[in-house]
Amino acid sequence: QVQLVESGGESVQAGGSLRLSCAASGDISSRRCVAWFRQTPGKEREGVASIYTRAGRTYYTDSVKGRFTISQDNETNTVYLQMNNLKPEDTAMYYCAANSYCVTTRIDDRDFPHWGQGTQVTVSS
């Protein structure tokens, strides 16, 4: 059993920054890969970034490269998503998800069996 709890979402102005946190617990082998997804009403869920926690290897979707950074704190079992230069199109519910492995070429929600409840990020212009 894996538990994921997101926090850190709030409303910010365009150009601002936020750091989201994903506190993970439970079977460590089932959460070797942790990813952040986002979703807005009426749209498909989009993979934003992932990290393979055993090696620190990361992957980003093109729209956030250079602005978002995923990182981990192994002592607290927390994965972070640092979001800089936020844009109104970054507005979404952000979810943390976990799997036992990372696919190196994509972030697909079908690969992730464990999910948190989400945290809302709103970016105003």
- Single out the residue of 96, 87, 99, 93 nearest to residue 124, CA to CA: 87
Q: Please tell me the predicted confidence (pLDDT) of residue 33.
A: 96
| Paired sense of beta strands 78-83 and 18-26, if any | antiparallel
Q: What's the per-residue H, E or C state across 25-44?
A: EECHHHHCEEEEEEECCCCC
Residues 87-102 have pLDDT tens digits of 999 999 999 999 999 9
pLDDT of 121 higher than 80 = yes
**Percent of the chain at pLDDT exceeding 70:** 100
Residues 16-63 have pLDDT tens digits of 999 999 999 999 999 999 999 999 999 999 999 999 988 889 999 999
pLDDT category at 105 given cuts 50, 70, 90 is confident
Q: Please tell me the predicted confidence (pLDDT) of residue 104.
A: 77
Contact 36, 20 (CB under 8 A): yes
Rg of the Cα atoms in the chain = 13
